[in-house]
Amino acid sequence: MVSLDAVRGAPKVLLHDHLDGGLRPATVIELADGIGHRLPSTEPAELHAYFVRGAEAKDLAQYLDTFQHTVAVMQSEDHLARVARECVEDLAADGVVHAEVRFAPELLQQRGLALQAVVEAVLAGLREGEAAAGAAGRTIVVNAILCAMRTGDRAMEVVQLLDRMRYRDPKVVAFDLAGAETGFPPSRHADALAYAREHLLHLTIHASEPPDLQLIEDAIAHGAERIGHGVRLQSDILFTPDGGAILGDLARWILDRQIPLEMAPTCHVQIGAVPSLAEHPFAKLLHLGFAVTINTDNRLMSDVSVSSETAAVADTFGLGWAELEQVAVNGALAAFAPLEQRRRLVDDVIRPAYAALRG
């Protein structure tokens, strides 16, 4: 039996988590008060419920609208550093040993910060969080993915910033396109994605909305090494009663090349991509050999942690420690980190811990 308490103690890897979607409600209230930003509530539990209601509306526009409040309190260097530090502390307390947290610098300039200043403040906070976690006896590495908003026109600016900063700070590891997807395919930013490929920058691209397979195909065509979400790939797979599957061309391509899928099951239910967790394709894809990973997307809005997501998936599909070890290994090997670091994470941290759990 895989319990939530046991999962919390197991080493986990997180690849898809938005910085502006994981704030502590109490922090939002405190920071908002300091800048005079009006919130739906100034009581932590009520404010938390507000964010969760937006996520559970099964309306992506309503879901994204709640971010106006978290983004509003992330417009100064001090606030950004604090949010990043608390993010790392919360992940470490949840048993995460390696994470990649993403954010869109262009959304964090409402009070005049330069793009580079935004990123530097977040990186400083990540390091503060790592140090605090280390002092508490928890080892964690948290790196940053820079997002450009696919509805905007600043993708080239963001990807060039990433290119400049990666030589100064190894914590800046990849580029992503985020925000509303339907009507805004990756090809809309083909020039920025071409720049990323030509300059050997890591790429992960969101592909979770209709038109389903077309968005995933477009992401791969423009160089995505990982697919953000990718849950709608199931429409290219015919699952058979005997537990097998007939794969379409896209699903076969992704399986054969082991392109990682950054799954966030609770979020997928909340945005209506799947009717329920029980109907999520996660376990079927895992058993077929796809490189699926478990992620939170937005911890505040979805009211989840990596441990709660992992435990819920394990309970729903009857997964044991061997399967959860494979998920953790998938995440470690898919991380945008040097190969030797990924191997050490697997061999020295993940494998021994799960061997003990199995025993």
- 209 tagged catalytic: yes
Q: What values do phi and psi take at 197, rounded to 5?
A: -65, -45
Return contacts of 182-185, CB within 8 angstroms, 24+ apart.
182/209, 182/210, 182/211, 184/150, 184/151, 185/150, 185/214, 185/215, 185/218
Q: Which helix (H) or strand (E) holds 146?
A: strand 141-149
CB 177 within 8 A of CB 223: no
Closest listed residue to residue 309, CA positions, set 359, 319, 65? 319
Token pair, residue 192, equals: 């920025």
Q: Residues with Cβ < 8 Å from 64, sequence gap 6 or more?
A: 179, 180
Which residues, 6+ apart, have CB-to-CB distance to 12 below 8 Å?
94, 95, 96, 97, 294, 306, 307, 310, 328, 331
Phi/psi class of residue 183: alpha, beta or left (left: φ > 0; alpha: ψ in -120 to 50)? left
DSSP 234: G
Q: Please identify which of the residues 130, 209, 217, 309 carries the catalytic annotation.
A: 209
Residues annotated as part of the active site:
209
